[in-house]
Structure 1
Amino acid sequence: MSLDSIIGQLTGHENKVPPVELWDPPYCGEMDIVIKADGSWYYNGSIFKRMSLVKLFASVIKKENDEYFLVTPVEKIKITVEDAPFVLTQWQWQDDCQETIIVATNLDDEFALNPDHRMRLDNNGQLYVTVRRNLEAKVHRNVYYQWVDIVKEVPSETGTALIFQSAGQFYTLGEI
């Protein structure tokens, strides 16, 4: 099991997200790949320098329970993810109507904040958005503060909720 063998198995998948949820290969052990909380990728303690390689590996991440794996059609390798495999780093309105928010991750995944890409607030006040399947991106602090500028204060049962809307859905940044 090596990086080269995984790269060889994934040749041809560079520009698309393979259907890893349909693959159930045998478990082949662990690899010293760590996705840090800031979204940077490390192999054997050294940072990945080739973004194309990071994007390729990110396309085959699978989460089962609370564990993360790189999955190919023939092997499943456990990796370490400190927080979430992606970081939501940018956002913009889809158009001048300001009805739908388009978000982007540190690995250039781009999508609308909508029911397919839900946002959740954890018990520690951290925001996460579903990128694909059950994989999430942690919302970067800069994006959070930009969203604070667009929220509306709405009375709630426990105080005042900080709410904004995208694609007809309401999202909360928390309560004050």
Structure 2
Amino acid sequence: MSGSFNPSNIEREVGGGTGIPPLEKWDPDFCGDIDMRIARDGQWYYEGSPIGREAMVRMFSRVLWMEGDKYFLKTPVEKVGIQVEDAPFQVVQVEHGVGEKGPEMVFTTSTGDRVRADAEHPIRVETDPKTKEPRPYLMIRFGMEGRIGRNLFYQLVEFARMIEHKHNTELVVDSAGETFSLGTLL
């Protein structure tokens, strides 16, 4: 990594505001990896220390980019690699409502993203191979997912409906005209 990366320069390079910049239009040079990590629990670290300023984490999350299975902070002038232990976002809240296509759920991440579960932003659940517990995710943006917290997943299960199949019963939730499986009952 070149020694030029300075986290405080990101705001200057991408401007203020709360929206997502046009990352897909930027093609900066790769400047190497930096010692930044998003832990499994959603905590951001820089050079081994937690980033305590929420505004700084939100700013970094706005310029987070994924290519293949690698994560980067991307500005118009540089792209630096960071580590992500699981999913880069933590989904912490859901609101239930009714939209044009019927019931819908709008989720909020710990960094302030609001995402409606729909065809572009599906919910998926995989099973942890060690614990056999469900690991639910929601597509947030640019191919990056958010981990749905355990308490929030239990809320989804409460709202789920059951579909009887020949050999099991599946729990599903509906949002924006789409149906998402939460798993099967044993």
**Where does the alignment leave 5 or more consecutive residues of structure 2 unmatched?**
129-133
For 1:70 and 1:122, locate their aligned partners in 2 and report how far apart those are by CA, in whole Å. Answer: 27
> For residue 117 of structure 1, what is the aligned residue in structure 2?
121
| CA positional deviation for 1:158 | 4.7
Alignment of 1:1-176 (within 5 A): 1-10=5-14, 12-94=15-97, 99-124=103-128, 125-156=134-165, 158-176=167-185
Rounded Cα–Cα distance in structure 1 between residues aligned with 2:108 and 2:166: 33
TM-score for the superposition, normalised by structure 1: 0.92
Aligned-pair CA distance for 1:171: 0.9
Which 5+ residue runs of structure 1 have no aligned equivalent?
none
Matched length: 175
Moved more, 67-76 or 87-96: 87-96
Cα displacement string for residues 121-171 of structure 1 (whole angstroms, at most 9, x for unaligned residues)? 235331111111211101100111111111122123552111111112111
Greater shift after overlay, 124-133 or 33-42? 124-133
Please give the alpha-carbon distance, in whole angstroms, between the structure 2 residues aligned to 1:122 and 1:39.
18
Partners in 1 of 2:23 and 2:167 — Cα distance? 41
Task: Flag as ranges the 4+ runs of structure 1 deviating above 4 A.
Answer: none
Q: Distance in 1 between matches of 2:179 and 2:10?
A: 41
Whole-Å Cα distance in 1 between the matches of residues 166 and 12 of structure 2?
55
How far apart, CA to CA, are the structure 1 residues paired with 2:44 and 2:115? 22
Using structure 2 for the length normalisation, give the TM-score: 0.87
Report the Cα distance in structure 2 between the residues aligned to 1:27 and 1:163, rounded to whole angstroms: 42
Deviation of 1:78 after TM superposition, in Å, equals 0.2
**Secondary structure in 2 matching 1:164:** strand
Alpha-carbon RMSD across the aligned residues, in angstroms, is: 1.9
The amino acid that maps onto 1:76 is K
**Partner Cα separation in structure 2 for residue 128 and residue 158 of structure 1:** 26
How many angstroms apart in 1 are the aligned matches of 2:98 and 2:49? 41
Question: C-alpha separation between the residues in 2 aligned to 1:99 and 1:113?
Answer: 10
Secondary structure in structure 2 of the residue aligned to 1:42:
strand
Give 1:100 shift: 1.1
